[in-house]
Chain A
Amino acid sequence: MAALLDITGVSIEFKTDKGPFKALDNVNLKIAEGEYVSLIGHSGCGKSTVLNIVAGLLQATTGGVVLEGKEVNEPGPERAVVFQNHSLLPWLTAYQNVELAVKQVFRGQKSRAEMKEWIEYNLHLVHMDHAMHKRPDEISGGMKQRVGIARALAMQPKVLLMDEPFGALDALTRAHLQDSLMEIQRELNNTVIMITHDVDEAVLLSDRIVMMTNGPAATIGEILSIELDRPRDRLALADDPQYNHYRHEVLRFLYEKQRKTDDSSAGRKPPSTNTSAATTASVADEDSAKSVTAESVSAVVTPLHKKHVA
């Protein structure tokens, strides 16, 4: 299948006070239509930078991004972005926030009534029908993120870009939203690039997981294809050996091959008193603790959520 999106030889250098800083080096990735790709990597490795280059918010120093045969060099609604902090306009209601995008994208194409229907349809997709006339400060964090997703979906993007869409949410809400997103994916089959820190989230949602090496000059380390049947059910998958194998692959990459240490020179063992070693351990602990909660929570959440949906 021909690639819908083609990232070729992308490198970027930021000008800083201490001279140029090479954040990305030679990133190559082809994404097919309808594919769901996750980007995972340690904090600060350059995931957001990759996403922003695809979005057109940043310009690559060398290399470039081609979408459907056209080079990307400015932001646009065909590459809608869901930001980590919802970034809804606080003075508009959920409906008006989506409306702003719809009016902008479908000006002259849809009639007033069609626009209204389309806005409501997208808010319905993310289960926000009941609160669509509330302003962001009147709804919860999870609901705000839902509206942010609805706004992006309403632009009918060729590629949906999501920068840690659920990063700021608690495990329970996050599980809800992941389920919603899978449901929407089944219906729309969008092409998606999603950044995440959550290993379970990556395995559950993705067709491929792109693992990035640590910066500076970060690049793609490994790519893992997730061949699990859809629809995926988090409860059933918890005991699935294949699922757990994928999880371990990602964890191994993150915590063995790409240990996050301040002392990045290879082969030199950090002294035992070095705080960076302690930090690494605590990060790993934190993550396993997080994944345990996510799993145990999902047992409770899923039936509840099903009920909510029905």
Chain B
Amino acid sequence: MAISQLQVPSWLEPFARLLRGDRPGEQIVKVLRHVGLPLLGMALFLMLWQSGAAHVNTSLGQLPGPAQVWEQAGNLKDEHFAEREKAVAFYQRQEARNAERMAENPDAKPRPIRGYTGKPTFLDQIGTSLKTVMSGFVLASLIAIPLGIAIGLSGALYSAVNPLVQVFKPVSPLAWLPLVTIVVAAVYTSPEPMFAKSYVVSVLTVMLCSLWPTLINTAVGVTSVSTDLNNVSKVLRLTWLEHIRKIVLPASVPMIFTGLRLSLGTAWMVLIAAEMLAQNPGLGKFVWDEFQNGSSQSLGRIMVAVLTIGLIGYVLDRCMLGLQRWVSWDKNAITR
């Protein structure tokens, strides 16, 4: 395994072979297929976008093409750093004032430093969304995996839980959200809350929606542990816990990961919707604010957000895939 990991990544292999002069004709075809075709697809898409956008006139002006969107991405980045500088300056001013006062009167107590309350930038919103989605996803997994194992092991529990799963699984996040919001408002009432209410609402909504793929796949993974392996466990007289730890869990790892990947995808989709509807900080709120704002730049900024959301979703999926490759013994189960 160590050796195969040291090899070049598969998409680089044709290049490496080309350099080595290993059947050049074949390698060129491979390069064209794996690098040329995606580039061609991308170029075609950009051209269509550019020419199509020119014909769409909205209340906020013409639909932006790729160039304008790129420009907005740059603006958003600049705004972020400008905001950071402002924050730094803000703190420096306070410290300077404190120092001055101490110089005048050494007995005076320094005033407490006030926190900077600027508007969160696009990058801040990305950070918030990522933190929220991971919290919801981890929480969902912590519930779904043990529950899935229990359901998979016990036919009775399966019969009891299955109807509930089937009913709750298709519920849209938009339906959960009002309910969660009200319940959190009623139940989560500590005077000094550790987490913001909006964060708790988003996390719970994400959890409620992303629970099911992991739950179902884990249960299926556990039920499909072969009778032969179960018999091995019986012949060895493994205790219940050892049976779970040494047979059931490893045997269902591939299915658990399939579920986790689906769950993370769902979690990300759900989160954006939840943030948008509930005005909870994050990328969804960014999109909503731009929509309400309705300046000439808004469309471009929304498009930047859409592309960012897509890109992050893709990266999250790749990360899960990488983790699955690393952890799972069944290398054949992982295709795409």
Chain B, 167-204, CB within 8 A of any chain A CB: none
Residues from 225 to 265 in B contacting A, C-beta threshold 8 Å:
226, 228-229, 231-232, 234-238, 246-247, 250-251, 253
Are A75's CB and B247's CB within 8 A? no
Return A236 CB to nearest CB of chain B, in Å.
37
CA A83 to CA B229, docked complex, whole Å: 10
Total residues of chain A contacting the partner, CB 8 A: 23
Q: Contact check: which of A57, A90, A91, A155 meets B231 at CB < 8 Å?
A: A57
Contact-size category for B = 10 to 19
CB distance from A57 to the nearest CB of B (A): 6
Q: Is A28 an interface residue (CB 8 A)?
A: no
With an 8 A cutoff between CB atoms, is B81 at the interface? no
- In Å, the complex CA distance between A85 and B229 comes to 10
A89-B247, A89-B250 known; A77 vs B329 contact (CB < 8 Å): no
Which B residues touch A85, using CB under 8 A?
Answer: 228
Tell me the complex Cα distance, A40–B330, Å.
36
Determine the residue in chain B with the shortest Cβ distance to A152.
B235
- What's the Cα separation between A242 and B246 when bound, in Å? 49
A55 / chain B contacts, CB cutoff of 8 Å? 231, 235
- Once the chains are docked, how many angstroms separate the CA of A244 from the CA of B77? 88
In the complex, the answer to whether A104 meets B231 with C-beta atoms within 8 Å is no
Encode A70-109 as 1/0 by CB contact (under 8 A) with B: 0000111101110101010111000000001100110000
Q: Which residues of A contact B234 (CB under 8 A)?
A: 56-57, 74-75
Assess whether B226 is in contact with A87, with CB atoms less than 8 Å apart.
yes
Is the pair B329, A135 in contact by a Cβ cutoff of 8 Å? yes
Cross-chain contact A76 with B237 (CB below 8 angstroms): yes
Q: Within the assembled complex, what's the spacing in Å between the Cα atoms of A57 and B233?
A: 11
> B251 — which chain A residues lie within 8 A by C-beta?
89, 91
CB distance B226 to A104 under 8 Å? no
The smallest beta-carbon distance between A47 and chain B, in angstroms, is 16
**Cβ contact within 8 Å between B232 and A87:** yes
With beta carbons under 8 angstroms apart, the residue of B238, B250, B253, B332 that contacts A104 is B238
Bound state CA distance, A101 and B236, in angstroms?
6
User: In angstroms, how far is the closest chain A Cβ from the Cβ of B248?
Assistant: 11
* B163 CB to nearest chain A CB (Å): 24
Q: How far is the CB of A196 from chain B (nearest CB, A)?
A: 18
Is A77 a contact partner of B228 (Cβ separation < 8 A)? no
Contacts A89-B229, A90-B329 known; A105 to B236 CB distance under 8 Å?
A: yes
Most chain A beta-carbon neighbours within 10 Å: one of B226, B234, B253: B234
Contacts A87-B228, A87-B229, A91-B250 given; does A81 touch B235 at CB 8 Å: yes
CB-contact partner of A87 in B231, B250, B253, under 8 A: B231
Distance in angstroms between the alpha carbons of A90 and B234 in the assembled complex: 17
Q: Which of chain A's residues 165-179 have a Cβ closer than 8 Å to chain B?
A: none
Interface string of A255-287 (1 = CB under 8 A from B): 000000000000000000000000000000000
Known: A83-B231, A100-B246. A90 touches B330 (CB 8 A): yes
Q: Separation in Å of the B240 CB from the closest CB of chain A?
A: 14
* Residues of chain B lying within 8 A (CB to CB) of residue A90: 329-330
B253 proximity list for chain A (CB < 8 A): 91
Q: Chain A residues with Cβ under 8 A from B250's Cβ?
A: 89, 91
Which residue of the partner chain A has the closest CB to B228?
Answer: A87
Q: B228 — which chain A residues lie within 8 A by C-beta?
A: 83, 85, 87
The 6 closest A-B pairs by CB, nearest first: A91-B329, A87-B228, A75-B234, A104-B236, A75-B235, A91-B250
16 A-B interface contacts by CB (under 8 A): A56-B234, A74-B237, A75-B234, A75-B235, A76-B237, A77-B237, A87-B229, A89-B229, A89-B246, A89-B247, A89-B251, A90-B330, A91-B253, A91-B330, A137-B332, A155-B236
